[in-house]
Amino acid sequence: LMSQLGVSDMREDVAEVKSINNVCICLFSDKDIIYICPFSGAVKGKVLITNYRLYFKSSDSDVAVMLDVPLGTISRVEKMGGASSRGENSYGLDITCKDMRNLRFALKQEGHSRRDIFDLLFKHAFPLSHGLPLFAYLTQEKYEENGWNVYKPMEEFRRQGLPNNKWRITFINKNYELCDTYPTVLAVPFKSKEEDLRRVAAFRSRARIPVLSWIHRENQAVIVRCSQPLVGMSGKRNKDDERYLDMIREANDTTKLTIYDARPNVNAVANKATGGGYEGDEYQNAELIFLDIQNIHVMRESLKKLKDIVYPNVEESHWLSSLESTHWLEHVKLVLSGAIQVADKVSSGNSVVVHCSDGWDRTAQLTSLAMLMLDSHYRTLRGFQVLIEKEWISFGHKFASRIGHGDKNHADQDRSPIFVQFIDCVWQMTKQFPTAFEFNERLLLTILDHLYSCRFGTFLYNCESARDQHDVRSKTVSLWSLVNSKMDIYLNPFYTPESGRVLYPVASMRHLELWVTYYIRWNPRIRQQQQSPVEQRYKELLALRDEYLKKLEELQLSDSSPSSRLANSPTPNTPSSTSSTPSQQYTHLQTPL
């Protein structure tokens, strides 16, 4: 069947299709269907549906249209038109996707083919609603690398220089008894006792106590994350919580601890009504700053508005003001500028605590972006994977609720593009610092594609305890297995490691761009860059770079005095000029050999 349909000329991943194929059940094929393409009009073709994807190929060779949509991407399937429908192509299916597109198919009324396709799609796009397993549990893909080994919490703590005499590692949560949405291994102030942690947990929403995310090697300032304190209407206090925050401040001996509350001030106040709140004046030696970032519902509506102006038709006449009215870039700006404040505070030697309400959405955005700015390790291909594993996955960003993997309930109020927004912020940073990241845009696109695809276990479930319960690590494949098995396509040839450098992106509207290559990528009329020649050229450049480094190494071996001096010199942030000297050029090329 596959060959009959010409699946072999699928653009990419032929090998993957085959390996998925082992368990890929062909559910439906060879039926004539009309794809109502918003760009080329009605296109006749054949459809193939497996338990992983929907594949469509036009049968008319004049209009080459191909669709390859993982069923996980689908958020909603609807029938359009009824038995009485008149008019051409008014009877069929409407499919809403999570990745900024919708699909529309027209079918013949005779022969129940619509019912068959609808039932299949409905069942396999939303397996959890039908008591079926997610596709990640069915696939038997094999990779050279095991992506589950990318992140080991203890190793990451050791890399940061922990434990030390101010911070200790605790296993108090090894059975998720302290906090069921936290990871098992936590770093807390050295002075704090286990019973302190338990008392603090009682005063923090969902027991998400303040724990260390990152420590500055030189000045020992830390980023600590948590949820809101349970102050409530009556303005409750908790001496243990107050003392605990003061221990965090004491750990690097500064006069003041800065608490960043990601929310707008009014929202924080409103949270008191439901038992939450924020740190008041009773927290001595602490200052509280609100970062004005809106909640998940506002972000969801904003992205929905953005989709309305880019799909299927892009707004032409008042593009910029329409874009402005979605507020998407403004939200991106606020998240970035919040992270910049956090990074700046830490890099000047002050410890910070970051929280929002529950500490799993805005908090994750802020801590991970600040860490990306502060620590160049996270800007490498593997380091970035660690950052996502650590700050997002292990600390319980509710991927399952935010994305709705395999769930038919498309209107769930828990859905929100918080992680997409984070990746957008990362993209903005890569645009502003084109040599500072080891990975390229393709990695970001791949991550977002598999955020929905359900092919890998990486983004499944809400927290570590749920992942343990469902044996994610043993029964599914990690996305990083795919990425790390063919790393070269995700590498930025111009990457120049600068280990000490703190990146401060400009979070001004004037310097932010809409990520057109993601949000508007389905529109063939919007050309961004000729993606393939650029990628081809990137590969050539990577080869050139490797050859260069090899030659450099040979030089170092044969003549240790001058070239080793060059190679061992630290990599300062050299603003090069037109007349950059050879030694400056060498320093740009420091790559771990």
Partner 1 sequence: MEFSEHIKTANVEDVVLRQPLHPPSRGTLCITGHHLLFSDREEGSSRQLLLLLRNIDAVEKRISGSSGTITIKCKDMRVLHLDIPGMEQCLNIAHSIETLSCLDGVAAMYPFFYRPSDLSLQNQWGLSSTEKYYSQMKELHNRWRLSSVNRDYSVCPSYPPAVIIPQNTDDDMLKKVAKFRQGGRFPALCYYHRKNGMVILRSSQPLTGANRKRCREDEHLLQAVIDGSDKGYIIDTRSSQQAQQARMTGGGFESKSSYSHWKRLHRQMERGKALQESLIKLVEACGDESHNMDRWLSKLENSKWLSHVQTALSTAGLLAECVERDGHSVLVHGSEGTDSTLLISTLAQLIMDPCCRTLEGFLALLEREWVQAGHPFQQRCAHFAYSHARLQQESPVFLLMLDCVWQLWRQFPLALGFSEALLLRLATEAYASDYGTFLCNSHQERCALGVTENTHCLFQALLRPTERDYYSNPLYEPTELAIWPSVHPQSLQLWRGFFLRWTQQARQLEEAQEEIRNMVIEWGKMALS
Q: Which residues are annotated as a binding site for substrate?
A: 295-296, 356-362
Residues 556-575 that bind partner 1 (CB under 8 A): 575
Distances (CA, A) of 505 to 333, 372, 429, 462, 490: 10, 11, 6, 30, 22
Please state the closest distance from residue 286 (CB atom) to partner 1, in A: 27
Nearest to 227 by CA among 193, 191, 275, 195: 275
| H helices present in 126-180, as ranges | 153-159
CA atoms within 13 A on the CB side of 313: 4
Q: Does 541 bind partner 1 (CB under 8 A)?
A: yes
CA 307: distance to chain centroid? 19
Backbone angles phi, psi at 540, to 5 degrees: -60, -40
* Span of 266-274, 275-283, 294-302, 536-544 interacting with partner 1 by CB under 8 A: 536-544
Exactly one of 16, 164, 433, 489 binds partner 1 (CB under 8 A); which one? 433
Q: Report how far apart the first and last C-alpha atoms of the chain are (Å, whole number).
A: 48
Edge-to-edge strands of the sheet including 41-50? 66-70, 53-58, 41-50, 26-37, 102-106, 92-97, 74-80
Among 250, 292, 301, 330, binds partner 1 (CB under 8 A): 330
60 vs 546, beta carbon nearer partner 1: 546
Q: Which is nearer to partner 1, 181 or 496 (CB)?
A: 496
φ/ψ of 140, rounded to 5, equals -125, 40
Build a one-symbol-per-residue string for 487-526: x at contacts with partner 1 by CB under 8 A, - elsewhere.
-------x-x---------x-xxxx-xx-x---x----xx
Least CB distance to partner 1 at residue 575 (A): 5
Q: Which of 112, 130, 537, 565 binds partner 1 (CB under 8 A)?
A: 537
Q: Which tokens sit at 352?
A: 């910070």
Of 319, 475, 569, 583, the one binding partner 1 by CB under 8 A? 319
Q: How far apart are alpha carbons 571 and 592 in whole angstroms?
A: 12
Q: Is 585 in the site for partner 1 (CB under 8 A)?
A: yes
325: left (phi over 0), alpha (psi -120 to 50) or beta: alpha
Q: Which residues pair with 36 in a beta bridge?
A: 42
Separation CA 567–CA 593 (nearest Å): 10
- Number of shown-chain residues binding partner 1 (CB under 8 A): 54
Nearest distance, CB of residue 538 and partner 1, angstroms? 9
H-only helix segments in 71-186:
113-125, 153-159
Q: Does 528 bind partner 1 (CB under 8 A)?
A: yes
Q: Which residue, 166 or 333, is less far from partner 1 as judged by CB? A: 333
Alpha-helical segments (H) within 143-284: 153-159, 194-202, 239-251, 265-270
Q: With contacts defined by CB under 8 A, name the span among 175-183, 461-469, 480-488, 548-556 that binds partner 1.
A: 548-556
Is the CB of 177 or the CB of 324 nearer to partner 1? 324
Compare residues 23 and 502 and give the one whose CB is closer to partner 1: 502
Contact pick of 1, 558, 577, 592 for partner 1 (by CB under 8 A): 577
Is-contact 31 49, C-beta < 8 A?
A: no
Closest CA to 19 of 140, 173, 113, 168: 140
Taking the complex as a whole, the smallest distance from the CB of residue 582 to partner 1 amounts, in Å, to: 8
- What is the C-alpha separation between 27 and 515, in angstroms, rounded? 36
Q: Is residue 10 a contact residue for partner 1 (CB under 8 A)?
A: no
Q: Tell me the C-alpha distance between 385 and 378, whole Å.
A: 8
Binding mask 49-88 for partner 1 (x = CB under 8 A): ----------------------------------------
Beta-bridge partner residues of 92: 80, 106
Sole binder of partner 1 in the list 239, 544, 557, 565 (CB under 8 A): 544
Q: In angstroms, what is the minimal distance from the CB of 214 to partner 1?
A: 24
Catalytic residues: 356
Q: Which is nearer to partner 1, 190 or 586 (CB)?
A: 586
The piece of 165-173, 203-211, 266-274, 431-439 that touches partner 1 (CB under 8 A) is: 431-439
Our CB check for partner 1 shows the closer of 442 and 588 to be: 588
Do residues 319 and 326 make contact, with C-beta atoms less than 8 angstroms apart?
A: no
Comparison of 344 and 468: residue with beta carbon closer to partner 1: 344
> Near partner 1 by CB under 8 A, which window of 72-80, 145-153, 315-323, 455-463?
315-323
Q: Applying CB under 8 A, which residues contact partner 1?
A: 310, 314-316, 318-321, 323-324, 329-330, 432-436, 494, 496, 506, 508-511, 513-514, 516, 520, 525-530, 533-534, 537, 541, 544-545, 547-548, 551-552, 575-578, 580, 584-586, 588-589
